[in-house]
A and B are shown apart, each in its own frame.
Chain A
């Protein structure tokens, strides 16, 4: 390999007395710092009637805290020139900001305040309308809709399969009391993590966060709920309003802490990278599907490998058959050394770019902390990528075959019959 290791700065971490964990890394030569407050809670931690509460709560955070309303939040973030936002996923709720170095203390103060919302009933009713608009928008976008439907099909009966935004029914029925109960259960200081990357003074960050969070409640640590789910079943959604036919085929894969994480990243790259992958040659270069891809979604206790294609309805049956055929070939046929090397090189470039971006590095630190309970340097990541062999990938395929337990989700104008060649 030709990546020149660059001497790296120290990885930083500290657990406060109240259980809150802080991780960080300096990036030399940058003016910006990215900071994020992570709460280890998301759609999977919601009961069926609570579906969407994590995301709704993340919106409510911006409405009012004990000391600020949305007017102050928005104004104060703007005063420091912050690039700030928040997101909610299946296992995470995160509040983040990127600012130029000297504005970091203010950014941390604001982010911390976001995690302590006042949950006012009038705000709740107003923001409910925004959430319903967001759900409506989501349903008008085929990718978002397809993805939700896929998780529902792959993890039936499990909160992992519930849409992160909730449904119009759950959101309409929800009360601010329900939200308060959820928050009390999930937003303890020992269920939170702060990450910073870029240009900052570590001791100052620690002191500030210790100060702010001193009196935060610390309920018993709540692990993610680990629900059973039924076996996945294909889901074909036929609607003539769509021009294009969309597919996802999913198969079980590794969880977040699996030692074969990098072998899996390489496998996904070989299968579906946007340049030079198996699906690229078989589907994209032949004109069958303009959009193709593959990726792994990993959770605390399970994971899924996704292969995606978007195509013209008149090419859909052929495209789907070709996609399945490529999964068989990768599962049972040879993997060339050169193919492996190309995938590695692409992943190595990504690690270098991660090291140059404060926001990417801030995310990366948390990924390894959550996966292994420790931080990895980018050099360690690079060595781990370089060490992967064809044998490792084969072994991973034996553990999680791409050809078994497949779940297909289709969204587009075609019916199940029309998807067969």
Chain B
């Protein structure tokens, strides 16, 4: 069913693509092996600053020319910096891919980093920090990761701090670009309506003068910090985010953990939705999410609740986590979670923008392509034993972290706040 192809050009640039029948749109994404993990201690936010300045002009084109060429073909495009990868992507009508590739290749190979543009981008990044910090739910979920992986590159703040972003010099940005943006560590993925031979030939010609093997960030999995911390923030709700250990892409525990996380906290049939919201009305927003990285992963559980009921929320979530660790999941739950996940995979693949991300991630992290059938089979193969083994391996309760952000104090919440491996001080009854 899959029209998948891949090639590696002479300069090391990898290209993959999957045709999707019946669509007019094409999605393209450049996966650059670079991210916030590469930021040094003193330059937190450098990777993001570099990425967002790249569209501000190249050796041949001004910022206005770059933007207008993409706008003329009606492309929807964006760039973003993650922990381990930086993305440049666009969706457009398939017949306009050539104009878009010209721009993306120019930006990656020949970004010029004009000084005045860099200052404008720096000002915007400082604002981004302020905006993120104005949104408690977003902030606490990010803070949970940063604290859980503190002291390790996976705990970096990709936006940086006011001080670090202000302190970055232009030559650091240029050096960072020269060091990390190389064809040997870049992957280009296509999905939808495109001509494979044509895009490969065009990219070959466009990147002829682009060289460099690049490098890939490698690290042992982080030491985790399963601490409970409480931060004061004025607001109507207490924002609670628990952190649990996860597994990385390609780990045999990947689907078992994805399913366990889904049973715990994805959607209205999940345990947390039932126990925290439906039965007790403690929160409007409550969920679990699992994020995988190359060497490890992370499960986070969020709930937003008014201060007078925050202690009860902590207690209920805590007892649900303990229950999951002790008793695992039931056959019925597992079957439903599989249906949910498979359905999401199939429905998600109908959009070229989603599909390009999914084939790109598979190739980037695991160097393989999976058809929808292969993914469905892998999900179907998971047993209760697999889930139990995975939960056992990650040591859920002994590695539990919590960040509470809001008006409550540690004693309001019924927890002790200090670094270390602590359970809530109040015993919870489930």
**Chain A residues engaging chain B, CB cutoff 8 angstroms:** 2-4, 6, 28-32, 62, 70-71, 73-75, 77-84, 98-100, 126-137, 139-142, 241-244, 275-276, 280-281, 284-291, 310-312, 315, 338, 341-342, 345-349, 352-353, 355-358
Residues in chain B near residue A244, CB distance under 8 A: 127, 130-131, 134
Contact flag A312-B126 (CB < 8 Å), given A32-B350, A140-B235, A243-B133: yes
Stretch in B90-98, B146-154, B244-252, B411-419 touching the partner:
B90-98
A133/B124 in contact, CB under 8 A: no
Interface size bucket, B side? 35 or more
- The answer to the question of B185 belonging to the interface, with a C-beta cut-off of 8 Å to chain A, is no
- The answer to the question of B182 belonging to the interface, with a C-beta cut-off of 8 Å to chain A, is no
Q: Which residue of B lies closest to A32 (CB)?
A: B347
A78/B269 in contact, CB under 8 A: yes
A133/B304 in contact, CB under 8 A: yes
Q: How far is the CA of A243 from the CA of B233 in the complex (A)?
A: 12
A287/B343 in contact, CB under 8 A: no
- The answer to the question of B429 belonging to the interface, with a C-beta cut-off of 8 Å to chain A, is no
A276/B68 in contact, CB under 8 A: yes
- The answer to the question of B135 belonging to the interface, with a C-beta cut-off of 8 Å to chain A, is yes
Residues in chain B near residue A131, CB distance under 8 A: 284
Q: How far is the CA of A390 from the CA of B398 in the complex (A)?
A: 65
B25/A32 in contact, CB under 8 A: no
Q: Which residue of B lies closest to A343 (CB)?
A: B71
A290/B346 in contact, CB under 8 A: no
Q: How far is the CA of A130 from the CA of B274 in the complex (A)?
A: 12
Q: List the 5 shortest-distance A-B pairs measured between CB atoms, nearest first.
A: A81-B343, A29-B22, A129-B281, A287-B120, A345-B74
A134/B284 in contact, CB under 8 A: yes
Known: A74-B278, A346-B74. 12 other contacts (CB 8 A): A75-B269, A80-B343, A98-B347, A133-B284, A134-B284, A137-B284, A137-B285, A289-B127, A338-B72, A345-B71, A345-B74, A352-B24
Q: Which residue of B lies closest to A131 (CB)?
A: B284
A32/B346 in contact, CB under 8 A: yes
Residues in chain B near residue A128, CB distance under 8 A: 281
Q: Which residue of B lies closest to A356 (CB)?
A: B23
Residues in chain B near residue A286, CB distance under 8 A: 120
Would you give 13 A-B contacts (Cβ < 8 Å), ordered by A?
A2-B95, A32-B347, A70-B278, A79-B336, A81-B343, A100-B346, A136-B306, A241-B235, A243-B134, A244-B127, A287-B120, A288-B123, A353-B91
- The answer to the question of B323 belonging to the interface, with a C-beta cut-off of 8 Å to chain A, is no
A133/B74 in contact, CB under 8 A: no
B130/A312 in contact, CB under 8 A: yes
- The answer to the question of B428 belonging to the interface, with a C-beta cut-off of 8 Å to chain A, is no
Q: How far is the CA of A6 from the CA of B23 in the complex (A)?
A: 10
Q: How far is the CA of A334 from the CA of B82 in the complex (A)?
A: 41
B269/A276 in contact, CB under 8 A: no
Q: CB < 8 Å: which of B119, B235, B285, B304 contacts A287?
A: B119
B72/A345 in contact, CB under 8 A: yes
B23/A29 in contact, CB under 8 A: yes
Contact flag A132-B24 (CB < 8 Å), given A287-B124, A349-B91: no
A275/B350 in contact, CB under 8 A: no
Q: Which residue of A lies closest to B406 (CB)?
A: A140
A315/B269 in contact, CB under 8 A: no
Interface flags, B34-73, vs A, CB<8A=1, else 0: 0000000000000000000000100000011001101111
Residues in chain A near residue B130, CB distance under 8 A: 243-244, 312
Determine which residue in B92, B273, B336, B347 has the highest number of CB atoms from chain A within 10 A of its CB, and name it: B347
Determine which residue in B124, B340, B351 has the highest number of CB atoms from chain A within 10 A of its CB, and name it: B124
Q: CB < 8 Å: which of B93, B120, B128, B284 contacts A3?
A: B93
- The answer to the question of B326 belonging to the interface, with a C-beta cut-off of 8 Å to chain A, is no
B267/A78 in contact, CB under 8 A: yes
Residues in chain A near residue B145, CB distance under 8 A: none
Determine which residue in A6, A142, A310, A345 has the highest number of CB atoms from chain B within 10 A of its CB, and name it: A345
Minimum Cβ distance to chain A for residue B382 (Å): 16
Residues in chain A near residue B278, CB distance under 8 A: 70, 74
Minimum Cβ distance to chain A for residue B14 (Å): 27
A77/B93 in contact, CB under 8 A: no
Q: How far is the CA of A78 from the CA of B136 in the complex (A)?
A: 30
Q: How far is the CA of A71 from the CA of B275 in the complex (A)?
A: 11
Q: CB < 8 Å: which of A79, A132, A315 contacts B123?
A: A315
